[in-house]
């Protein structure tokens, strides 16, 4: 009998390699240290079936990307020479970063004497590229390795064992598409950042030195710039808003001690004379007639399984912490083994997952234990299935019970939210009975809406939501005629939207493909640190000392110009629940100057809008699906961005003018 083959398995992070080792070995593995404190080597035997059979396995991991792309040294010494545009075609090298060398050595050493490398990185695009990096290092240790890849989308035991026995090949197209993205982000980001910093510094003042005395870096990146653009765009929409008066008719009727409000079907009109005429006709008619009574069951849907973006938005709304703080707390909870991986886009649970077992772990809690016990006793419902699946991680959920005393304040709040959200997902929708009553009053139609909540269900464990406007209506009968208690002509003004809050900003980034679940909070942090934006408590009227001068010709009350944001009739939904800790984003004068300057240069595609990043995303997809070659994308995108760069250089005076106007407050 031949000796067992040796197989080296490498995952993207230690938590996955440990979980896989536990499943494949049935819990019988040995743990060895590596040169990295977070990464362990797990050794065990496993029968992969044909052709490898029973094998000696070393299971280890990397810690995200192993390598970084770097410019040659001569491009790192100075920001002027060679000039920034040289970075568009300067030579680059892929290097293992110094702090990753122990990880690389661990892989090389264990590759020696191994028959095969089995890659277990996350099954998303970046994971595929990390798998490619692992392969490169392993082959340095042993050029004859057979290379296979596990395809898995969760770490359930049966799923992992199936993945181990049905390996596939690395997807070269995905690997390549990420390599292209990395190189483009590097060349473009560095070239623009150096050029911006070099050319604005001579203007002096805050463009040269930071308030803390450090030298100013004016950075540019394809994610941070559109993020700034969202903030500036909303800022001008608010500043340039011109309120418009409107008029409406409100009918109320008192019956059975309930004041019923009937809302006008036309909602409101912007012409007073017309509303007055319609209102007078109602008064003249004296009586109204019930033309529709409809009762029907209704429900308020339970929330979707939790993604990172949702966690971040809700943290700001309900937990009084920003996305950065929420992710830090989630990271701790994950490290301690209380919650699943906190960076995920998936809002559907794999049907094979044993959710009941996870619910059962929560029955001991004195806040939601009874609710969980109810689910265990039969009220359990399979969660809704969202439309997103990153094929790498399940939705965020509690994996072990944690008593509140064991956590710091922020971690406690995040754990509570994640757990309540999970239990809500495993519960039933709230059920109610809706009543709609329409009346005709002269020629106008008005309607009243009522809801009686019959079963709160998930709302009992999820205090972050309520069923608002759940009012009971008194009895109305079809064709009945009555004299309304009161009819009023009301007057109002459209109001401006508020400044962007963090949930708004994250929602915009998410919808426009700016950043990933793991990086959105970082981009927001970056534009704060660069002093392009600052935050303040929502509704705190005081202006920060960075507030820019109002846009020329758009000063409130001075002219009818609505500005580029449009009129936003009725105001924007900010969704900022109870105020409290919600912060709003205001651009600094520098942030406004950058966006204003670039927008006025006349670029074909605006740099402060998300289009360019979206285009990159689409081209990466083309590469993955075989419609576009990687080297073609790289070459053409570089050409395109070089043109943008050349135009920016040519039009530098436009940007400088914006900086003088907004930042230095002089000149036109």
Catalytic residues: 341
Q: Which of residues 318-347 bind DNA (CB under 7 A)?
A: 331, 335, 343
If one asks whether residue 124 binds DNA (CB under 7 A), the answer comes out as yes
Q: Give the x/- contact pattern for DNA in 4-43, rule: CB under 7 A.
A: --------xxxx--------------------x-x-----
- Closer residue to DNA, CB minimum distance, 513 or 577: 513
Does 270 sit near DNA (CB under 7 A)? no
Q: Is 215 in the site for DNA (CB under 7 A)?
A: yes
Phi, psi values for residue 11, rounded to 5°: -100, 175
Closest distance between DNA and the C-beta of residue 570, in Å? 33
Question: Using CB under 7 A, which of 223, 424, 461, 623 touches DNA?
Answer: 223
Residue 608 near DNA by CB under 7 A: no
Where do the H-state alpha helices sit in 157-210? 157-165, 172-200
Among 29, 42, 120, 220, binds DNA (CB under 7 A): 220
List 40's β-bridge partners, or say none.
33
* CA distance linking residue 211 with residue 591, whole number of Å: 15
Which residue, 538, 591, 595, is CA-closest to 564? 595
**Cβ count within 10 A of residue 362:** 25
Provide the token pair at 493: 């003004």
Which residue, 228 or 473, has its beta carbon nearer to DNA?
228
Euclidean distance between CA atoms 405 and 400, whole angstroms: 15
How far apart, in whole angstroms, are the C-alpha atoms of residue 8 and residue 128? Answer: 17
Smallest distance, DNA to C-beta of residue 642, A: 16
CA distances from 241 to 263, 572, 583 (A): 27, 12, 21
- Closest distance to DNA from the beta carbon of 403 (Å): 23
Site for DNA (CB under 7 A): which residue of 68, 203, 269, 647?
68
Of 461, 456, 438, which Cα lies nearest the Cα of 448?
Answer: 438
Q: Which is nearer to DNA, 154 or 219 (CB)?
A: 219
Strand 116-120 to strand 146-149: parallel, antiparallel, or no bridges (unpaired)? parallel
The contact mask relative to DNA for 175-214 (x = CB under 7 A, - = no) is ------xx--xx--xx--xx--xx--x-------------
Neighbours of 504 (CB within 10 A): 25
What single DSSP character describes residue 384? P
Chain length of the chain: 668
Task: Determine, following the binding rule CB under 7 A, whether residue 531 of this chain makes contact with DNA.
Answer: no
Q: Is the dihedral of CA 484, 489, 494, 495 positive or negative?
A: negative
CA angle 49–51–57, rounded 5-degree value: 65
Binding to DNA (CB under 7 A): which residues in 349-408? Answer: none
What are φ and ψ of residue 610, in 5° steps?
A: -80, 5
Nearest-angstrom CA–CA distance, 167 and 182: 27
Q: Does 86 bind DNA (CB under 7 A)?
A: no
Candidates 4, 25, 43, 64: give the one binding DNA (CB under 7 A): 64
C-beta of 264 vs 645, nearer to DNA: 645
Backbone φ and ψ for 516, nearest 5 degrees, come out as: -120, 175
- Position among 147, 217, 547, 654 found at the interface with DNA (CB under 7 A): 217
Count of chain residues binding DNA (CB under 7 A)? 50
Residue choice 199, 219, 316, 501 for contact with DNA (CB under 7 A): 219
The residues binding DNA (CB under 7 A) are 12-15, 36, 38, 63-65, 68-69, 71, 76, 78-79, 100, 122, 124, 126, 130, 181-182, 185-186, 189-190, 193-194, 197-198, 201, 215, 217, 219-225, 331, 335, 343, 515-519, 523, 526
């Amino acid at each position: 009998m031949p000796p067992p083959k040796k197989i080296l398995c490498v995952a993207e992070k230690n938590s996955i390699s440990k979980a896989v080792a536990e499943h494949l070995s049935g819990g019988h593995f040995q743990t060895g240290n590596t040169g990295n404190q977070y990464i362990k080597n797990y050794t065990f035997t496993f029968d992969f079936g044909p052709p490898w059979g029973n094998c000696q396995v070393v299971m280890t991991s990397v810690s995200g990307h192993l390598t970084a792309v770097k410019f040659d040294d001569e491009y790192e010494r100075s920001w002027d020479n060679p000039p920034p545009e040289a970075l568009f075609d300067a030579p680059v090298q892929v290097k293992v970063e110094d702090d990753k060398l122990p990880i690389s050595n661990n892989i090389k050493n264990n590759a020696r004497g191994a028959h095969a490398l089995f890659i277990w990185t996350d099954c998303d695009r970046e994971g595929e590229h990390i798998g490619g990096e692992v392969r490169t290092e392993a082959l340095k240790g042993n050029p004859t390795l057979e290379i296979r890849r596990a395809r898995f989308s969760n770490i359930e035991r049966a799923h992992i064992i199936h993945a181990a026995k049905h390996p596939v090949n690395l997807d070269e197209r995905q690997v390549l598409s990420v390599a292209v993205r990395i190189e483009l982000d590097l060349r473009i980001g560095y070239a623009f950042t150096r050029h911006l910093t070099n050319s604005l510094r001579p203007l002096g003042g805050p463009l040269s030195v930071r308030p803390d005395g450090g030298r100013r870096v004016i950075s540019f990146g394809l994610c941070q710039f559109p993020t700034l653009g969202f903030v500036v765009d909303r800022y001008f929409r608010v500043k340039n808003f011109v309120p418009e008066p409107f008029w409406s008719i409100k009918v109320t009727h008192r019956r059975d001690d309930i004041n019923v409000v009937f809302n006008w079907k036309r909602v409101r009109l912007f012409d007073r004379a017309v509303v007055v005429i319609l209102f007078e006709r109602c008064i003249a008619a004296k009586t109204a007639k019930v033309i529709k009574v409809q009762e029907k069951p209704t429900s308020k849907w339970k929330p979707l399984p939790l993604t990172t973006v949702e966690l971040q938005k809700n943290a700001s709304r309900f937990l009084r912490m920003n996305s950065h703080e929420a992710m830090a707390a989630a990271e701790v909870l994950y490290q301690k083994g209380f919650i699943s991986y906190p960076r995920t886009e998936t809002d559907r649970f794999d049907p094979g997952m044993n959710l009941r077992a996870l619910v059962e772990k929560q029955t001991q809690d004195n806040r939601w234990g009874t609710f969980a016990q109810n689910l265990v006793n039969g009220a359990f419902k399979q969660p809704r299935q969202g439309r997103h699946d990153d094929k790498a991680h399940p939705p965020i959920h509690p994996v072990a019970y944690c008593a509140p005393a064991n956590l710091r304040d922020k971690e406690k709040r995040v754990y509570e939210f994640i757990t309540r959200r999970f239990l809500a997902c495993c519960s039933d929708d709230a059920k109610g009975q809706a009543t709609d009553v329409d009346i005709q009053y002269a020629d106008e139609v008005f309607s009243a809406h009522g809801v009686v909540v019959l079963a709160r269900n998930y709302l009992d464990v999820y205090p972050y939501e309520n069923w608002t406007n759940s009012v009971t209506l008194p009895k109305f009968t079809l064709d009945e005629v009555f004299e309304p208690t009161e009819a009023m002509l009301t007057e109002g003004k459209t109001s401006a939207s508020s400044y962007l809050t963090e949930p708004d900003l994250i929602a915009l980034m998410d919808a426009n493909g700016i950043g990933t679940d793991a990086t959105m909070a970082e981009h927001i942090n970056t534009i704060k640190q660069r002093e392009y934006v600052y935050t303040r408590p929502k509704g705190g009227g005081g202006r920060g000392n960075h507030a820019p001068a109002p846009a020329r010709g758009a000063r409130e009350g001075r002219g009818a110009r609505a500005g580029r944001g449009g009129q936003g009739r009725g105001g924007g939904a900010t969704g900022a629940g109870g105020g409290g800790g919600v912060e709003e984003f205001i651009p600094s004068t520098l942030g406004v100057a950058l966006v204003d300057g670039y927008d006025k240069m006349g670029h074909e595609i605006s740099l402060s809008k998300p289009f360019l990043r979206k285009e990159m995303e689409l081209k990466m997809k083309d590469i993955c699906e075989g419609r576009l070659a990687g080297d073609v994308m790289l070459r053409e995108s570089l050409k395109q961005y070089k043109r943008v760069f050349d135009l920016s250089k040519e039009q530098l005076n436009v940007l400088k003018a914006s900086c003088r106007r907004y930042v230095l407050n002089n000149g036109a």
